[in-house]
């Protein structure tokens, strides 16, 4: 298992060397976890000129948490002495001593103050920009990563399925969200992948709606969006239901529209497809029905160690999908004052020959009246 | 109510002007909230040369969350146009047009990449460092802020009290933590102030222990640390209990020691006291009993809009307490393999004449056998 992390560091080392930096400092927690198997709070990873110089620097925490149990055991760890300061600053000195004349750092993550402190300890060492090199490596997943996502999706499906069997009318958004999060953990999640969103009535269909004390009422749309974190991998599922026996005509119409848009998005997922074409496939159906103003900036996004990672499926996104890239497809329409519909799946892009896109979140997308 | 935020912005404006910057850009979310009443995701606050130039810049979110309902209604808001980019970059241009020749920015929060993008839009505008000016303003709380903390503490006390009435043996750390978080929300919290920590047996007494699937057993120490977020203000309470009817001698001894250390810390809270003297008051009792290696780097810290803010009560901290500063006092000892004790209160520093330190978290600190 551990060679996985060493192999990833080799790929990063090669990229950096090709760009003129013999060493790299990785500080963004999800990137540290990707390359080291875990990311203890505050830890940074030095990827040195040689594998032997790779080291995970952790801030001291006597009496605190032990380091993450799944850390790559082939990777050297160094705990900062008490009062030892910022591990990123210590890493600069280690890079210099390992013979590096330049160190690539994550300028999109390091603060100006931290970058300055790093620059001042070894003025002869040039600080270059690693940019999003690790994020780029993370886009295409291996089958072990996809297996984690598959389990995460299964857990979310189970939690959602159980909720649907319970009485919903009269309960608040906040309580439904908390119950879903408890069920995620019951089924083996390490936690929620992101704050569970439950929106009823006028709140339904909103992306990222934060649960309030509004109670579920007869005739409401109810939109639920949740995900599980399983071994660091995060999936996402969103569904919209109608409360009561007979959906109104506008509800059926809107649901069918969003369903059609979501299906079009899913069906356009293929290796080689432009990111923005996936977005357009879903978006044009909503736009054509007059909802151009009621949609969101993006139709979907990558998932993995973060719930929102590359690629972005949006009108301005540049790039093409690869096989083994997990993404969400989550169009929605929200009509101010009335509510709306969102339908959200996590899928893995696969070759046509392999059966096309693999749907991880399998809860039904029929319009259920609860 | 809203003049509160305008007044805070006046104080910041005055400080910046005195330091040579007629305008400031605040990007750290808790700082934005302190000065604007709320911090919609991604929003930044420009504090201009004149109050009329103050503006909260929010990224576009059509169909998404509305702006925070408690935002200062006297403050101008500007939503970025679709694809309008980083509001911090837009703010640079606004500052220039408002006549500022320098803009103080939060170098400890802005990334290198973002800072560079800001610098490139208006090369004639000098970017200075605001440093932790807003964090400094936040240290001393007004009575409205303290009232929120008092309610937050009451909620945490209630949630903890209810848990103590239930059966604990056989339940996992993870489930106890989830139940506590649900109870916090039941009692009116906006959420947990931080991830609830529940540690049993060998995990007890650890600071920031993340709940596992270990079940509570007879004879265990059980350490619980939780807090409520009420209107953005966050408190913290930690208690250690013993499971079963008869604590072992080592448990009673260790508990009494930590209790004495915590009391010494609490009693040393007074306006004018050095931060490190508070730390020393608690720490020396643990050190004298031979636990120097089993303690943590700090004995307490400020609380407010963040759960861990200035001041830090640690051996190397510089500065003196003021009245109306809320802090935690939370010494603990963890013995690897055996467990330990933590006792954690949130208190407000008050003048002797006002009755001395005000204890916000009032759950008993007797050693309860549950």
CATH number assigned to the domain comprising residue B20: 3.40.350.10
Checking if the pLDDT of A249 tops 70, the result is yes
Contact A54, A24 (CB under 8 A): no
Lowest-confidence pick of A148-157, A222-231, A287-296: A287-296
A239: three-class secondary structure by DSSP: strand
Instruction: Please check whether residues A127 and A154 belong to one and the same domain.
Output: no
| Count of other CB atoms within 10 angstroms of residue B129 | 17
CB contact (8 A) between residue A297 and residue B113: no
The reported pLDDT for the residue numbered A293 is 74
**Residues of A whose CB is below 8 A from B330:** none
Chain segment B232-253, per-residue pLDDT in tens: 999 999 999 999 888 999 999 9
CA distance B346 to B90: 40
Domain-embedded: residue B322:
yes
Please give the structure tokens belonging to residue B297: 């780097």
Contacts A–B by Cβ distance under 8 A: 103
Checking if the pLDDT of A23 tops 50, the result is yes
The reported pLDDT for the residue numbered B122 is 87
β-strands A300-302, A309-313 pairing: antiparallel
Mean pLDDT of A253-269: 97
Domain-embedded: residue A162:
yes
CA distance A34 to A8: 8
CB contact (8 A) between residue B65 and residue A209: yes
Instruction: Please check whether residues A264 and A245 belong to one and the same domain.
Output: yes
Higher pLDDT: B325 or B79? It is: B325
Higher pLDDT: B60 or B303? It is: B303
Chain segment A153-173, per-residue pLDDT in tens: 999 999 999 999 998 999 999
Instruction: Please check whether residues A182 and A263 belong to one and the same domain.
Output: yes
Higher pLDDT: B157 or A83? It is: B157
Q: Which residues 150-189 of chain A have a CB within 8 Å of chain B?
A: 174-175, 178, 181-182, 185
Instruction: Please check whether residues A17 and A146 belong to one and the same domain.
Output: no
Q: Which of A90, A117, A137 finishes a domain?
A: A137
What average pLDDT does the structure give for chain A? 93
Residue B69 — very low, low, confident or very high, per pLDDT cuts 50/70/90? Answer: low
Closest CA in chain A for residue B195: A191
Query: Which among A212, A202, A216 is positioned nearest to A338, based on CA atoms?
Result: A202
Q: How far is A213 from chain B (nearest CA, A)?
A: 10
B292 touches chain A (CB under 8 A): no
User: Percent of chain A, pLDDT > 70?
Assistant: 96
Mean pLDDT of A221-242: 97
CATH number of the domain within which B311 lies: 3.90.230.10
CA distance B300 to B308: 9
Residues contacting residue B282 through CB under 8 Å, at least 6 positions apart? B261, B262, B264, B265, B268, B299, B300, B329, B331
Residue B41 — very low, low, confident or very high, per pLDDT cuts 50/70/90? Answer: confident
CA distance A9 to A20: 16
Q: Which of A137, A163, A193 finishes a domain?
A: A137
CA distance B296 to A365: 51
- Report the residue from B63, B115, B185 with minimal CB separation from A206: B63
Instruction: Please check whether residues B204 and B246 belong to one and the same domain.
Output: yes
Mean pLDDT of A305-333: 96
User: Percent of chain A, pLDDT > 90?
Assistant: 83
Domain-embedded: residue B120:
yes
Domains contained in chain A, number: 2
Instruction: Please check whether residues A106 and A247 belong to one and the same domain.
Output: no
Higher pLDDT: B72 or B45? It is: B45
- Which helix (H) or strand (E) is A290 found in, with range? none
Instruction: Please check whether residues B241 and B293 belong to one and the same domain.
Output: yes
The reported pLDDT for the residue numbered A60 is 64
Q: How far is B125 from chain A (nearest CA, A)?
A: 17
Instruction: Please check whether residues B50 and B158 belong to one and the same domain.
Output: no
Mean pLDDT of A272-299: 91
Higher pLDDT: A63 or A175? It is: A175
**Residues of B whose CB is below 8 A from A112:** 105, 107-108, 110-112, 115, 129
Mean pLDDT of B63-67: 45
A206 touches chain B (CB under 8 A): yes
Domain-embedded: residue A366:
no
Higher pLDDT: A152 or A2? It is: A152
Mean pLDDT of A36-57: 94
CB contact (8 A) between residue B296 and residue A61: yes
CB contact (8 A) between residue A64 and residue B175: no
- Report the residue from A115, A178, A332 with minimal CB separation from B112: A115
Mean pLDDT of A33-43: 92
Place of tokens 């198997």: A37
Chain segment A109-168, per-residue pLDDT in tens: 999 999 999 999 988 899 999 999 999 999 999 999 999 999 999 999 999 999 999 989
Instruction: Please check whether residues A130 and A200 belong to one and the same domain.
Output: no
**Residues of A whose CB is below 8 A from B42:** none
**Residues of A whose CB is below 8 A from B113:** 107-108, 129
Domain-embedded: residue B368:
no
Instruction: Please check whether residues B265 and B164 belong to one and the same domain.
Output: yes
Domain-embedded: residue B45:
yes
Q: Is A44 exposed, middle or buried (0-12, 13-18, 19+ CB in 10 A)?
A: buried
Mean pLDDT of B303-312: 96
Domain-embedded: residue A347:
yes
Question: How far is CA A287 from its chain centroid?
Answer: 27
Q: Which of A137, A152, A173 finishes a domain?
A: A137
Q: Which residues 115-144 of chain B have a CB within 8 Å of chain A?
A: 115-116, 129
- Report the residue from A110, A208, A296 with minimal CB separation from B112: A110
Q: How far is A355 from chain B (nearest CA, A)?
A: 34
Instruction: Please check whether residues A304 and A168 belong to one and the same domain.
Output: yes
Structural domain span for residue B286: 140-359
CB contact (8 A) between residue B64 and residue A175: no
Domain-embedded: residue A57:
yes
Higher pLDDT: B277 or B190? It is: B277
Please give the structure tokens belonging to residue B258: 């930590």
Contact A327, A275 (CB under 8 A): no
Instruction: Please check whether residues B76 and B222 belong to one and the same domain.
Output: no
A293 touches chain B (CB under 8 A): yes
Q: How far is B350 from chain A (nearest CA, A)?
A: 30
- Measured in degrees and rounded to the nearest 5, phi and psi for residue A25 equal -115, 120
Mean pLDDT of B120-133: 94
Q: How far is A111 from chain B (nearest CA, A)?
A: 4
Residue B74 — very low, low, confident or very high, per pLDDT cuts 50/70/90? Answer: confident
Closest CA in chain A for residue B339: A63
Checking if the pLDDT of A337 tops 50, the result is yes
B352 touches chain A (CB under 8 A): no
Mean pLDDT of A225-254: 95
Contact B252, B367 (CB under 8 A): yes
ipTM score of complex? 0.84
CB contact (8 A) between residue A62 and residue B296: yes
User: Percent of chain B, pLDDT > 70?
Assistant: 96
The reported pLDDT for the residue numbered A71 is 85
CA distance A44 to A85: 13
Chain segment A52-84, per-residue pLDDT in tens: 999 999 986 543 444 455 788 889 998 887 667
Mean pLDDT of A15-38: 95
- Report the residue from A82, A110, A296 with minimal CB separation from B111: A110
Please give the structure tokens belonging to residue A111: 């603060």
User: Percent of chain B, pLDDT > 90?
Assistant: 83
| pLDDT winner (highest mean) among A184-193, B37-46, B130-139 | B130-139
Closest CA in chain B for residue A28: B111
The reported pLDDT for the residue numbered A2 is 64
């Amino acid at each position: 298992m551990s060679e996985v992390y060493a192999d990833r560091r080799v790929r990063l080392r090669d990229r950096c060397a090709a760009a003129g930096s013999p060493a790299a400092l990785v500080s963004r927690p999800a990137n540290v976890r990707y390359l080291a198997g875990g990311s203890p709070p505050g830890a940074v990873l030095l990827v040195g000129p040689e594998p032997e110089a790779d080291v995970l620097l952790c801030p001291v925490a006597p009496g605190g948490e032990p380091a993450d149990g799944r850390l790559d055991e082939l990777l050297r760890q160094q705990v900062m002495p008490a009062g030892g300061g910022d591990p990123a600053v210590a890493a600069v000195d280690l890079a210099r001593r390992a013979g590096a004349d330049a160190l690539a750092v994550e300028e999109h993550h390091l603060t100006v103050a931290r970058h300055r402190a790093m620059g001042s300890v070894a003025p002869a060492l040039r600080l270059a920009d690693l940019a999003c090199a690790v994020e780029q490596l993370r886009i295409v997943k291996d089958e072990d990563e996809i297996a984690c996502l598959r389990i995460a999706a299964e857990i979310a499906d189970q939690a959602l399925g159980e909720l649907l069997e319970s009485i919903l009318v009269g309960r608040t958004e906040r309580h439904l969200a908390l119950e879903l999060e408890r069920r995620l953990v019951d089924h083996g999640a390490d936690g929620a992948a992101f704050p569970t969103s439950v929106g009823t009535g006028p709140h339904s269909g909103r992306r990222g709606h934060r649960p309030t004390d509004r109670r579920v009422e007869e005739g409401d749309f109810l939109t639920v969006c949740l995900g599980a974190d399983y071994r660091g991998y995060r999936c996402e599922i969103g569904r919209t239901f109608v409360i009561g026996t007979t959906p109104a005509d506008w509800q059926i119409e809107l649901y069918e529209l969003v369903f059609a848009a979501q299906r079009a998005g899913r069906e356009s997922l293929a290796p080689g497809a432009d990111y923005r074409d996936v977005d357009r496939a879903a978006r044009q159906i909503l736009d054509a029905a007059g909802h151009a103003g009621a949609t969101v900036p993006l139709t979907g996004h990558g998932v993995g160690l973060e719930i929102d990672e590359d690629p972005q499926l949006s009108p301005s996104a540049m790039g093409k999908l690869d096989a083994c890239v997990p993404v969400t497809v989550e169009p929605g329409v929200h009509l101010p004052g009335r509510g709306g519909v969102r339908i959200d799946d996590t899928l893995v892009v696969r070759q046509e020959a392999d059966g096309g896109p693999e749907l991880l979140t399998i809860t039904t997308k029929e319009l259920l009246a609860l």
